[in-house]
Copies of this chain bind each other. A is one copy, B any other.
Amino acid sequence: MSLLGRSLRLHLRGHSVRLASRIIPTSTSTSLRAAKYARSYSTPVTLDPMTGEATSLPDIQPGRLQIIRDENPIPPPPSRTLKFGHTFTDHMLTIPWNAIEGWGAPKIEPYGPFQLEPSSTVLHYAQTIFEGMKAYRDETGKVTLFRPDMNMKRMNNSAQRISLPTFDGEACLELIKELVRIDKHWIPKEPGHSLYIRPTLIGTQKYIGVAPPTEALLFVICSPVGPYYPEGFKPIALYGTTEYIRAAPGGTGAFKLGVNYAPGVMPQKKAAKLGYAQNLWLHGPEHYLTEVGTMNMFVVVRKEDGTHELVTPPLDGMILPGVTRDSVLTLARDHISGKKKLEHLPDNLVVSERPITMTEIKEASHSGRLIEMFGAGTAAVISPVDRIGYLGEDINIPVGQDGMGPVSRPIWKELVGRQMGSIESDWSVVV
Contact = CB atoms under 8 A, between A and B. Distances in A.
A14 B257 CA distance: 24
Nearest to A281: B250
Given A88-B13, A162-B266, A113 B113 contact: no
A200 B126 CA distance: 12
Nearest to A29: B1
Interface string A262-296: 11111011000000000000000000000000100
Contact of A72 (B9, B115, B198): B9
A10 to B, nearest CB: 6
A97 interface: no
A349 interface: no
Contacts of A257: 126, 262-263
A264 to B, nearest CB: 7
B126 A118 contact: no
A207 B86 contact: yes
Given A209-B85, A262-B259, A266-B162, A244 B248 contact: no
A5 interface: yes
A14 B87 contact: yes
Contact of A14 (B25, B86, B160): B86
Given A12-B112, A13-B111, A202 B123 contact: yes
A249 interface: yes
A5 B29 contact: yes
* Majority secondary structure of chain A interface residues (helix, strand, loop or mixed): loop
Nearest to A201: B123
Contacts of A12: 111-113
Contact of A118 (B111, B203, B250, B294): B111
- The residue among A111, A118, A257, A258 with the most chain B CB atoms within 10 A of its own CB is A118
- The residue among A243, A259, A262 with the most chain B CB atoms within 10 A of its own CB is A262
Contacts of A86: 14-15, 17, 207
B200 A123 contact: yes
Nearest to A219: B118
A408 interface: no
Nearest to A122: B123
Given A74-B13, A85-B207, A119-B85, A263 B259 contact: yes
A341 to B, nearest CB: 37
Interface string A59-76: 000000000000110100
A74 B248 CA distance: 47
Contacts of A245: 248-251
A324 interface: no
A324 to B, nearest CB: 17
A17 to B, nearest CB: 7
B258 A252 contact: no
A202 B92 CA distance: 23
A202 B202 CA distance: 15
Contacts of A269: 163, 212
A330 interface: no
A295 to B, nearest CB: 11
A245 B207 CA distance: 25
Interface in A285-324: 294
18 contacts: A6-B74, A9-B74, A13-B87, A15-B86, A84-B209, A85-B207, A86-B207, A113-B117, A116-B116, A124-B130, A125-B262, A126-B257, A161-B263, A162-B265, A162-B266, A244-B251, A257-B263, A259-B263
Interface of A: 1, 5-6, 9-10, 12-15, 17, 22, 25-26, 29, 71-72, 74, 77, 83-89, 92, 111-119, 121-128, 130, 160-163, 198, 200, 202-203, 207-212, 219, 221, 223, 242-245, 248-252, 257-259, 261-266, 268-269, 294
Given A14-B87, A161-B266, A162-B262, 14 more contacts: A5-B72, A12-B113, A85-B207, A113-B116, A121-B262, A123-B128, A124-B200, A124-B258, A126-B258, A163-B262, A203-B262, A248-B251, A257-B263, A259-B263
